[in-house]
Amino acid sequence: MFDNNEWLSQHREDVIDPDREIVDPHHHLWPKGNAAGLVYDLEELWSDTEDGHNVTQTIFMECGSSYRETGPDEFKPIGETEYIAKAAALSAQDPNKATIAAFIGHADLRLPNLDDILDAHIEAANGLFRGIRHAGPFDAASDQFTIKPRAPEGLYKDEAFRRGVARLGERGMTYDTWNYHTQIRDFADIAAAVPGTTMILDHFGTPLGVGPYTGTHKANFEKWKDDIAAVAENPNVFAKIGGLAMPDNGFGWNTRDTPATSDEIVEAHGPYYHHTIKCFGADRCMFESNFPVDRLSVSYRVYWNAAKKIAADYSELEQQAMFSRVARKVYKIEPES
């Protein structure tokens, strides 16, 4: 699925601002032979992070990879933590390559034994565990989406779920989520209801553009702007700005004969970035690659070129914040020595 190097190689660009340090706060890994049949392991990640940009550290985001095959269901995600802890240890051995500096795992936040699950993540993560993503995407038309959502309807309103999100904050952990643009207001509600937990909204709230949402980007943009502004009113929420090149966003990059250019990405996606930065401020935004999922549409080199073109409208301090400083603050990681 992610072995599209030949297609991506049709478009190459010179690297913009190659010395700028980047902490990529959102990527996934799937080892060879995993149950999902997807492959994007450490070597594939390094192939992308070494493609011209100065990516020094990364943060792994849960993706249902390498779960345990036996034992209680609620503890099966610990297998992913064990796998990433090993990959991170390998990444730290080479000072010339990007290091996996933190890990976001998965747990069902509604469970009464949540603390036991969190403790198991901590024990397995070799000091890298920072929080949980128990995401909330739900849509009645999800059978028409490439990436199938895993959340039930109304998750954000579930009282047990809210208690779980609150517990993360009590334990100094973060809560990451992704949802669809139709659910952004629901996320704003839970953010206001649980102000003690640092929350991160991934992928701009995922504006959809497939199935019943085909061709609706312009029609939905103004409401999306209002909804993002509502989320930004909650100071405990940070925004990951990226992830708009997924197939379900409906921009069609993944179906073209040639991949997207950075100028095309800037033209189509730029308004989402600038509005989110305006609402949250640079000190609460972080550029993300969302690789390898966005790799279906754009190369790593081209994506970060697009991000740097967008960031050129902001001051040097603001750029430093969005490319590295905010990610390190939110996920409590130290710069490499």
Instruction: Give the pLDDT confidence score for residue 177 in this predicted structure.
Output: 97
CB of 102 within 8 A of CB of 59? Answer: yes
Instruction: Give the pLDDT confidence score for residue 32 in this predicted structure.
Output: 85
CB-based burial, 288-327: b 16+ in 10 Å, e otherwise:
bbbbbbbbbbbbbbbbbbbbbbbbeebeeebbbbbbbbbb
Residue whose tokens read 């895993």:
150
Instruction: Give the pLDDT confidence score for residue 33 in this predicted structure.
Output: 74
Give the whole-angstrom CA distance, residue 118 versus residue 113. 9
Instruction: Give the pLDDT confidence score for residue 337 in this predicted structure.
Output: 65
Is residue 33 exposed (0-12), middle (13-18) or buried (19+ Cβ within 10 Å)?
Answer: exposed
Q: Which residues of the chain have pLDDT under 70?
A: 1, 35-36, 337
Span 5-15, pLDDT tens digits: 999 999 999 99
Give the whole-angstrom CA distance, residue 267 versus residue 280. 21
Residue ranges and CATH numbers for the domains of the chain are: 5-13+20-331 (3.20.20.140)
Instruction: Give the pLDDT confidence score for residue 336 in this predicted structure.
Output: 79
Span 172-210, pLDDT tens digits: 999 999 999 999 999 999 999 999 999 999 999 999 999
List C-alpha distances in Å: 31 to 34, 100, 142, 327: 6, 15, 26, 25
Counted residue by residue, the chain has a size of 337
Instruction: Give the pLDDT confidence score for residue 260 in this predicted structure.
Output: 94
Instruction: Give the pLDDT confidence score for residue 3 in this predicted structure.
Output: 84
Q: Model's pTM, two decimal places?
A: 0.96
